[in-house]
Amino acid sequence: MALRLVSARMGPFLRQRTLAAAAALAQQRGFAAAASDDEKLTVTVPVPFKTHKIDPPSQEVETSKAELLGFFTDMYKMRRMEIAADGLYKSKFIRGFCHLYDGQEAVCVGMEAALNYDDAIITAYRDHCTHLGRGGTVLEVMAELMGHRDGCSQGKGGSMHMYNKQHNFYGGNGIVGAQVPLGVGVAFGQKYNKLPNVTVAMYGDGAANQGQLFEALNIAALWNLPCLFTCENNHYGMGTAEWRSAKSPAYYARGDYVPGIKVDGMDALAVKQAFKFGKEYALQNGPLMLEMDTYRYHGHSMSDPGSTYRTRDEISGIRQERDPIERIRKLILSLELATAADLKAIEKESKREVDEAVDAAKSSPQPEEKLLYDHIHSGTPANFQIYGADRQHVTVKL
């Protein structure tokens, strides 16, 4: 219990490591004196919050050197991991359905900076980085992608089904929109048990058109449940641009009677501010909608080149002007919190970590065969049968 509290207070993932790494770097370079790691800094986020039926949070966001270096490290690692997954897919180590998150990293790290692991998260299938955000390792993700035993779901879930029970990650879900009502149920559990925590139910702009989202929203509002309905608006649902499928693409305002905030989802600090505000609000008042204006660089999944329904200019324009990692890099450099060389060193370290995880994931064995018929029910149903090649002789009766 004590341990758990500590870990909760530590907050976002790998903070410990990041801090240590940053401190070590700082010492090496001899700029530790400039700003201590935890000294408060205030940064004004450039894009104003747009709101629906609520006053916006302040654009002045408190942060620290440690936090900014943490953002940089974590987002860079996420990016490397997704690029590695892309390569592994092309070399057929990963098969089937695989949806990459690169471009959207700021949502993940900004959100985690305002939450702790006792808060719950549930999302859809674009979940690799969410798993890292919840404190998972690159190895757990990579091995899961390959269907190997060291995966976070023992290799049984694959790309779309990362889970971390200990840190209240209720997983990646394959059916578009289905996760949102589940999140409302989790939020009810939190409220009923008087926990000081919220649930983040994440969904895409495409999923925003599923009816069950509105059923869930009504329930959450009716019972004032601490649920943050978080729309990661990357502007496309597969090949469909938001305006083709939504009468109103103002997703933050589509809760009608539920207030909402539109956030620059490419700015980790803005995301953090919105979630910090959102958590406090939801604990006191009930649900809130948060729309994250973000972008995915890759296609929808590995079979989508991502360039038939949008222009290459659009993609490269966003990379140049709004990239979440470059934004933090610039901020760190302009505040002189680290040098370009320091950041390069962090990048190098991330690459090494990802490469090592990839190797380890490759050599991780396939799940044990008995896992095929395990975990279907609790306990073993009396009459459950698996038959082999010869139905009479190789029947496994459980």
Partner 1 sequence: MQRGTAALLRCARFLGELQPRRISSLETARCFSGAAMQAQPSAPEGYDGTAELKRMNLFTAVNDALHIALDTDPNSYIFGEDVSFGGVFRCTTGLAERFGRHRVFNTPLCEQGIIGFGIGLAAMGSRAIAEIQFADYIFPAFDQIVNEAAKCRYRSGNQFDCGGLTIRTPYGAVGHGGHYHSQSPEAFFTHVPGLKVVVPRSPSKAKGLLLASIRDRNPTVFFEPKGLYRMAVEEVPIGDYETELGRAEVLREGSDVTVVGWGAQMLVLERACDAVEKEGVSCELIDLQTLLPWDVDTVAASVSKTGRLVISHEAPITSGFGAEIAAKIAERSFLKLEAPVARVCGLDTPFPLVFEPFYLPTESKVADAIMHTVSF
Ligand X SMILES: Cc1ncc(C[n+]2csc(CCOP(=O)(O)OP(=O)(O)O)c2C)c(N)n1
Q: From the CB of 242, what's the least distance to ligand X, in Å?
A: 8
Q: Distances in Å between the alpha carbon of 105 and those of 131, 162, 209, 293, 382?
A: 12, 17, 24, 12, 46
Write each residue from 205 to 234 as x if it is in contact with Mg ion (CB under 5 A), else as -, in one continuous string.
x----------------------------x
Distance in angstroms (rounded) separating the CA atoms of residues 392 and 86: 44
Write each residue from 162 to 201 as x if it is in contact with partner 1 (CB under 8 A), else as -, in one continuous string.
------------xxxxx-----------------------
* Span near ligand X by CB under 6 A; candidates 57-65, 173-181, 188-196, 286-294: 173-181
User: Hey, what are 64's tokens?
Assistant: 């620290």
Write the DSSP string, 148-212. -TTSTTTTSS-TT---BTTTTB----SSTTTHHHHHHHHHHHHHHTT-S--EEEEEETTGGG-HH
Q: Closer to ligand X by CB, 21 or 201: give it.
A: 201
Check residue 204 for interaction with Mg ion (CB under 5 A).
Answer: yes
Q: From the CB of 70, what's the least distance to ligand X, in Å?
A: 25
Write each residue from 237 to 276 as x if it is in contact with ligand X (CB under 6 A), else as -, in one continuous string.
xx--------------------------------------
Could you tell me which residues come within 8 angstroms of residue 322 by beta carbon, excluding any fewer than 6 positions away?
266, 295
Distance in angstroms (rounded) separating the CA atoms of residues 94 and 91: 8
* Helical (H) or strand (E) element with 40: strand 40-44
Residues 221-240 contacting partner 1, CB under 8 A = 237-240
The residue from 27, 307, 366, 395 that contacts partner 1 (CB under 8 A) is 366
Distance in angstroms (rounded) separating the CA atoms of residues 319 and 325: 10
DSSP 288: E
Q: From the CB of 125, what's the least distance to Mg ion, in Å?
A: 11
H, E, C per residue of 60-121: EEEEEHHHHHHHHHHHHHHHHHHHHHHHHHHCCCCCCCCCCCCCCHHHHHHHHHHCCCCCEE
Q: Are 207 and 176 in contact (CB under 8 A)?
A: yes
Q: Which does 126 bind (CB under 5 to 8 A by kind): partner 1, Mg ion, ligand X, none?
A: ligand X
Write each residue from 56 to 75 as x if it is in contact with partner 1 (CB under 8 A), else as -, in one continuous string.
--------------------
DSSP 268: H
Task: For the chain, give the number of residues.
Answer: 398
Q: Are 38 and 69 in contact (CB under 8 A)?
A: no
Q: Which does 369 bind (CB under 5 to 8 A by kind): ligand X, partner 1, Mg ion, none?
A: partner 1
Q: Closer to ligand X by CB, 68 or 108: give it.
A: 108
Q: Closer to partner 1 by CB, 313 or 390: give it.
A: 390
Residues 124-153 contacting ligand X, CB under 6 A = 126
Residues forming the site for ligand X (CB under 6 A): 126, 174-176, 204-207, 234, 236-238, 300
Residues forming the site for partner 1 (CB under 8 A): 92-97, 146-147, 155-158, 160-161, 174-178, 206-207, 209-212, 237-240, 244-246, 303, 308-309, 365-367, 369, 372-373, 376, 384-386, 388-394
